[in-house]
Structure formats: structure tokens, C-alpha cells
Amino acid sequence: MTTSLTSLKDWIDKSVSQTLPENIHWCDGSEEEYNYLIKEMNKSGDLHELNQDNYPDCYLHRSDPSDVARVEHLTFICTKNEDDAGPNNNWMMPSKAHQKIDRLFDGAMRGRTMYVVPYCMGPIDSPHARCGVEITDSAYVVANMKLMTRMGSKALKRIEKEGNFVKGLHSTGQLDPNNRLIMHFPDELMIKSFGSGYGGNALLGKKCHALRIASWQAKQEGWLAEHMLIVGIENPQGETHYLACAFPSACGKTNLAMLIPPKSQPGWKVWTLGDDIAWLHLDKNGQMRAINPEAGYFGVVPGTNEKTNKNAFDMIKNKTIYTNVGLTKDNEPWWEDKDIGEPVTDWRGNSFEAPKGPAAHPNSRFTVSATNNPSYSKLAEAPDGVVISAIVFGGRRKTLAPLVYEANSWEHGVLIGAGVASETTAAAAGEVGVVRRDPMAMKPFCGYNFADYWDHWLSFSKKSNNLPKIFHVNWFRQNEAGEFLWPGFGENLRVLRWIIDRCENNVGTNETAIGGLPNSKDIDTNDLDISPEVLKELLSVENSEWRDEINSIGEYLESYGDRLPAALKKEFTKLEMALS
Ligand code: SAT
Ligand code: MN
């Protein structure tokens, strides 16, 4: 196979002469191809076949133990001007970055197969979808891309017709942490990733393309590329509202996107559009619409069980690639809080008899096609996407942030998004549980200066008076004994219902200095074991604590200097005054 598109052909030729692969495999995205790759990986030991009676077409991949999460400190945005990357990114001059990483690619695919992977982010016939080609020497990456994106011949056809695409060059190299780099060249629509085979570092369609490069393209073209799930909430009358919700990695986006309504909420249904990324654009009526650029899920495994997320639990029982989970004696995958079976082997492949840490890595993942999801919405394939009623920001906060509150305006909502903070998780290398600023849950993923990004967000209120309402939620508030105050999971529907009630103007708010909170009576607690005092605590705002918080937000915003948009400063001053 080859291509009629000269720019693609030239780039492949150049990459071949640089990396010197033994073979070239153009991926067509067929089932036969997928099955062939799986078979080869079973032979090579890249995959371990799981119990096929209970887990048909399921396999386990074990990463190199040094390569189990995104590496933010090795991820760079390479723009000509350092300020365009901003204080939120590691920056390197493009010429220097190319030089540094090209040295690693020289001869890197000797004796290996180079896979050419054309993919489309978004429904193949959507005007809002964007395409890319990933060159990789990892069959594991190809199999994941097959499950996660629209990959193969159809994507190639679209690329040949459009003539433009994002170029992604990837090699696992020797998986040496000292020779690991993830580099983005927004001006060239190019990504180069070396030395990691893991998730967001290696599946270049995901964070590298659909967030870092796409956020920069979206800024030029007037749309938004966001780290958001998209979920449809259908009421008993059959009307559906769509919400786009931004939470940092490993804060429950997949669970919320696949929520199962509890028995106390009869007639409500939940539809999944996406669990990680949303591309948002305004339609001609000024309504904000969302598509999910992905076609599958790369979700956190530990904690998934019949109670927390039955949809996901069932979804990953067939045609799933597991990465870094443990094994039972029956050769079934095992993870913490699976609630069934016992591990005999940990994620490194060691015996679990004298356990050193958990059996599954805390950032172990499943890769599965969205079509496996029982709650997958047909509208996930709609070329124009769905109309978004509300945007919801959130983070993992033990204290301070109430269960839910609403912004007074779009601009106030942008400030709330910019002020998001969350405890770090195992999704990225580094310390876990430290509160850090994670604006719009995009800290690791915004491909340009946050100050310009907030300015871009703010610009939408000039383009439309029909924008979604903005909210902030926190499912993770704890009492002094360290227990969660809110039950979470399916019960979060009660909070989403309040958000929808607000969108429909069915209920009022309790106005506080930070925004509109629910009146207790408007949160349905029927059948819930929660005392009025706890609900009150969940719905309280402690002005003195918030004064400390806004000092910290203020310091953070100041680090963006003169580039910080005046409208954001104005919102900040309003908040400061409301709290004084
Ligand atoms: O490794 S990924 O970036 O794909 C997962 C995540 O951190 O959200
Ligand atoms: Mn994510």
C-alpha cells in the first residue's frame, strides 16, 4: 500500500531513511489486521492471552515498570516564541528540539516493523473531525489506536482528499527513561514521541493530537478542544440534556460518563458520548455543540466493580486490552476493588504471595471500543455533535469546594475554570495527592499559553448569547475522619439533575460569594443515607477559607503577567470584593 498524497509519501520516505525499519506496514484498520497483530503480540510476549472462556478476546500487556504513566516533565511544546507556550508548558526552541529528538530516532527502527497508522479524530464524515497519521514501531500502539480511533483506509481516504493531517512519529526506543521525550510542534502540526510505549505518551491521537495540537488549532479556528467527558441525561419524559464535564485524569470521568441511575431515580437514563475529550464549536444559532474525537476508552481499571460502574465492569469482559493489571489463578485479570477473585500475580508479572504494593498498578488501564459500552449514545456518531446545556468543572478536593455551584455568567465561569485545583493522581509520574492548580483540567494538555487560552474562552461570550451555563462540582469532600461526605458514583445523578433544573430554570439558587449554590430542598436525597447536617456541610461556603483560596488563585494568575486577560482580572477583583 502507498498513498497518492505527496506530502504524506515524502514524510514517510523521510522517516524510513531516518529510522531504517525492516518492514513497513500500512494499517487498513480491518478486523483481520487487528487479529493478526494480536496473534503476533501473543507470540512475541507483548501480550498475554487471558482466560478466553470468561474474557474472550481479552489480553494483558505489561509495560516496562518505568513506563506506566504520562511524563509531564519530559513533555514539551516547541513554539518559536517561548511566551506562546506559556508558564504552563515546558518549552524548547523547535530547531533544538528537532535536533535533540532526531538523534534518538536515527536508526531506531532497525530490525523492527514501521506501522503507518492513518486515523480520524471524530466521526469520519464530520466537518469538525481532524485527521492524523502516526508512524510507530509498536504493534501495541496500533492495536490501541484501532480501538480508540477511526483508524485505517477510510481515514487515509479523507486525508488524501483534504491534503492536511497531523504528523506523529513514535518509537518505543529502548524504553529508557533517560531517552524519553514527547515533543509537540504546533506550527508544523507535528508530534515526535520517543522512548515510551504508554498511553498518553504513545497513542498520539489522544492527548498529543486531540488536546495539545488541537487546542492550538482550535484557538486559530474559533473552537475549543477540551479535557471533558460528554454525557446525555434523559429524564423520564424522554428529554435529554447533554453536559460536558472537565475533571483531571483519574478523577472519575469514565464513571460519570457511564453512570447508572440508582433505583431511587426511576425513569432516568444516561448516555455516553465520550469519557475524556470534547471538541466544542458554535453552530449558526450560537449554540455550543460537542463531538467526541475518540472512538474508545483508555480507562483506569482499579476501583471498577459491579457497584461503582457496572457498565464498565461488563464492557471490559470482552475484546479488551488490559495494561498493568494483576492475574488470578484462573488467568483472569485482577485489580484492587474488583471485589471478585484473588490475585496470584502482580502487574509486573511477579508472584503476589508476599505482596509489595498493589496487584494492579494504580494507573492500570483498559482499552476498549466505545461500541462495547451498553450506554453508548448513537449521537456519538452525529457529524454535528450534540448541543451542550452545561459545562461542568471539577477536581478532587478534600475540603473547601462545595458539592456544586453555578457561575453567575460566562466570564465568571471562565474564572472558576481557571481556578480549578485538584489532588494529583497516578495518571502522571510524580507525587500523588498534592493539590495543584489544574485550570479546566487542562494543565498537562493545553498546547499554548494559558493566558491566551483563557482569552480564547472569554471570546465566546462576544460570539453568542446562547452559551451553556457553567458549574463546578466536587464529589470528593471529606470529613475530619477522612470519610467521603458524598456517596458519589450513580448518586451523582442527583447533582446533575439540579444542574439540569437550573438550565431549565426550574429552581432558584442560594447566592453566595463564590456563586449560586443549591437550596438543600432542591437536591433530591430520597433513599439516600445522608443527614441534613452533612448535606448542609456539602452545600456550605466558608468565606475565610475561600479568602485563602483566592489568594492562591490570585498568585497563580499573576504568574501569567501582562498576558492575563483584563476581563479575567475584572472577574477576579469582583470575587475578591464579594469575599471581603
Ligand atoms: O495516559 S493518558 O493520558 O491517555 C490517560 C490520562 O492521563 O488521562
Ligand atoms: Mn484524560
The SS3 of residue 171 is: strand
Does the Cβ of 249 fall within 6 Å of ligand 1?
A: yes
Residue 422 gets which letter from DSSP? E
Summarize pLDDT for 331-358 with one digit per residue, the tens.
Answer: 999 999 999 999 999 999 999 987 788 9
Task: Please state the atom number of ligand 1 nearest to the C-alpha of residue 203.
Answer: 4
Give the residue whose CA is nearest to atom 3 of ligand 1. 200
pLDDT of amino acid 25: 98
Give the residue whose CA is nearest to atom 1 of ligand 1. 200
Does the Cβ of 206 fall within 6 Å of ligand 1?
A: yes
pLDDT of amino acid 54: 98
pLDDT of amino acid 355: 76
CATH code of the region 226-295+379-579: 3.90.228.20
Does the Cβ of 298 fall within 6 Å of ligand 1?
A: yes
Does the Cβ of 70 fall within 6 Å of ligand 1?
A: yes
The answer to whether the beta carbons of residues 197 and 138 sit under 8 Å apart is yes
Measured CA to CA, the distance from residue 567 to residue 372 in angstroms comes to 44
Measured CA to CA, the distance from residue 283 to residue 290 in angstroms comes to 10
The SS3 of residue 119 is: strand
What separation in Å is there between the alpha carbon of 22 and the centre of ligand 2? 34
Distances 461 to 257, 426, 554 between C-alpha atoms, Å: 27, 36, 23
Residue 208 gets which letter from DSSP? I
- Residue segments in the chain with a per-residue pLDDT below the cut of 50: none
Claim: this prediction has a pTM higher than 0.75: yes
What separation in Å is there between the alpha carbon of 69 and the centre of ligand 2? 12
DSSP string covering 274-319, please?
ESS-EEEEE-TTS-EEEE---SEEEEE-TT-STTT-HHHHHHTTSS
What separation in Å is there between the alpha carbon of 505 and the centre of ligand 2? 32
The SS3 of residue 244 is: strand
Measured CA to CA, the distance from residue 4 to residue 23 in angstroms comes to 20
The SS3 of residue 153 is: helix
The answer to whether the beta carbons of residues 372 and 401 sit under 8 Å apart is no
Does the Cβ of 197 fall within 6 Å of ligand 1?
A: no
Measured CA to CA, the distance from residue 361 to residue 335 in angstroms comes to 8
Catalytic residue among 58, 78, 131, 251: 251
Query: For residue 193, what are the β-bridge partners?
Result: 170, 182
Does the Cβ of 299 fall within 6 Å of ligand 1?
A: no
DSSP alpha helix (H) spans, 45-93 = 82-85
Grid cell in block for residue 278: 470534547
Residue 371 gets which letter from DSSP? G
Give the residue whose CA is nearest to atom 2 of ligand 1. 200
Identity of the amino acid at 137: D
pLDDT of amino acid 356: 81
What separation in Å is there between the alpha carbon of 295 and the centre of ligand 2? 14
Grid cell in block for residue 137: 514501531
DSSP string covering 480-510, please?
TTS-BSS--GGGGHHHHHHHHHHHTT-S--E
What separation in Å is there between the alpha carbon of 248 and the centre of ligand 2? 7
Measured CA to CA, the distance from residue 371 to residue 150 in angstroms comes to 12
The SS3 of residue 161 is: helix
Does the Cβ of 200 fall within 6 Å of ligand 1?
A: yes
Task: Please state the atom number of ligand 1 nearest to the C-alpha of residue 249.
Answer: 8
Grid cell in block for residue 432: 500523588
Which residues place a Cβ less than 5 A from the ion ligand 2? 249, 276
pLDDT of amino acid 2: 85
Summarize pLDDT for 83-141 with one digit per residue, the tens.
Answer: 999 999 999 999 999 999 999 999 999 999 999 999 999 999 999 999 999 999 999 99
Q: 6-61+71-221: what fold?
A: Phosphoenolpyruvate Carboxykinase; domain 1 (3.40.449)
Pocket test for ligand 1, best of 72, 206, 209 (most atoms within 8 A of CB): 206
CA 253 to chain centre: 8
Residue 396's contacts (CB-CB under 8 Å, 6 or more residues apart) are: 247, 248, 251, 422, 423, 425, 474, 476
pLDDT of amino acid 354: 76
Domain segments of the chain as ranges: 6-61+71-221, 226-295+379-579
251 labelled catalytic: yes
